[in-house]
Structure 1
Amino acid sequence: MSTNEQQLAWIARAAVILDSFFRLLGRELMPRSGSPSADAALLYEFPLAVLAHNTADLPLLDWVNCAAAAAFETTPERLLGRPSAATTPADATADRAQLFESIRQSGFTTGYSGTRIGLTGRRFVIEDTTLFSLQDPEGNPAGHAAIIGNIRPETTFCYKTSP
């Protein structure tokens, strides 16, 4: 795929994310400019983490913005193409499966919180997250996306001993 084709696919994927969010939640994620390329650039720089995966049996991340890459302690280029399940710690896979079953039934969920893992192995918590199904312009399933409202370090405990 040429660079121009890649850029057009990236712009189209951003439009699918924005259009699906509007269709399911009844509101815009961000103000739209009327230009798909400008909207894609705005979504890429959006202050909340945005990421999406495709419909493969083992879904791969196929769209991430700068905030999402920062949350996972990497660059967008290094995050793209990774299995989305790899962003969830092994001890949270049952929670993730239950989450996606809920999304399959209703199309979206809001207010989700859960633990994720960055590429460095650091665990963190995502909060106030909206996850939703994606549909292409023809109405076909096109994966899922997440808009992460808040990111914080995972709580750690410090046990003090008596002096």
Structure 2
Amino acid sequence: MHPSLDQQSSVQLWSQHLANSYAHWRHEPLVTVTEPQTLAQALFEAPFAIVSHGTQADPIFNYANRCALDLWELDWPAFTQLPSRLSAEPMHRDERATMLAQLNTQGYVDKYQGIRISSQGRRFYIQQAVIWNVINQNGDRLGQAATFAHWQFL
């Protein structure tokens, strides 16, 4: 990650959207920090993975914290150019597509599990993931995010 990325206003704003949206859907905080500058740092340094993508037809990841970057074995520039569908092996993309469709009606899905693959081909099984729609203060959908603290390399 770029050393000063947590200082950049776009990352601070996106961090607020991530945290506020999570709290909106789940009625609990993603992290306990709320100040914009410290929130961005708290999310990036969290001991669990956090990733998100935008609303494009073929969404591209736009955020990953340090834990997620390590799991996917990518740096920030490479991760933020990766289509999110490529984070799963081909045989698991249909399951992932079904789950993402459920988000349109529920706002979030919890207890999600699935196999993901790193840039180096390492497969890992995520468990108890929460996936949620990222929204702004007006309720407009900005993207989707996921967090998980449980994974196992296969």
Normalised-by-shorter TM-score class: over 0.9
1:37 Cα offset (Å): 1.1
Q: Structure 1, residues 19-47: CA drift from partner, whole Å, max 9, x if none?
A: 00000000101112x42011011100000
Counterpart CA distance in 2 for 1:10 and 1:147 is 17
The amino acid across from 1:23 in the alignment is H
1:74 Cα offset (Å): 2.0
Secondary structure of 1:12's aligned partner? helix
Q: 8 Å contact 2:59–2:85 — kept in the other structure? A: yes
Task: State the match for 2:19 in structure 1.
Answer: 18
Q: Please, what TM-score do these two structures have when normalized by structure 2?
A: 0.92
The amino acid across from 1:20 in the alignment is S
Residue 36 (structure 2) pairs with residue 36 (structure 1): yes
Secondary structure of 1:143's aligned partner? strand
1:16 Cα offset (Å): 0.4
Residue 89 (structure 2) pairs with residue 74 (structure 1): no
Q: Structure 1, residues 40-67: CA drift from partner, whole Å, max 9, x if none?
A: 1110000000000000111010011000
Q: 8 Å contact 1:71–1:151 — kept in the other structure? A: no
Runs of 4+ in 1 over 4 A off after TM superposition: none
Q: 8 Å contact 1:64–1:79 — kept in the other structure? A: yes
Task: State the match for 1:159 in structure 2.
Answer: none
The amino acid across from 2:21 in the alignment is S
Task: State the match for 2:152 in structure 1.
Answer: 152
- Structure 2 gaps of 5+ residues are none
Secondary structure of 1:82's aligned partner? coil
Q: 8 Å contact 1:60–1:84 — kept in the other structure? A: yes
Identical counterparts, % of pairs: 23
| CA-based RMSD | 1.5
Counterpart CA distance in 2 for 1:22 and 1:86 is 28
Task: State the match for 1:118 in structure 2.
Answer: 118
Counterpart CA distance in 2 for 1:149 and 1:110 is 12
Counterpart CA distance in 1 for 2:110 and 2:67 is 19
Counterpart CA distance in 2 for 1:35 and 1:101 is 32
1:105 Cα offset (Å): 1.3
Q: 8 Å contact 1:116–1:124 — kept in the other structure? A: yes
Matches within 5 A, 1:74-153: 74-153=74-153
1:8 Cα offset (Å): 0.7
Counterpart CA distance in 1 for 2:48 and 2:16 is 17
- Structure 1 gaps of 5+ residues are 155-163
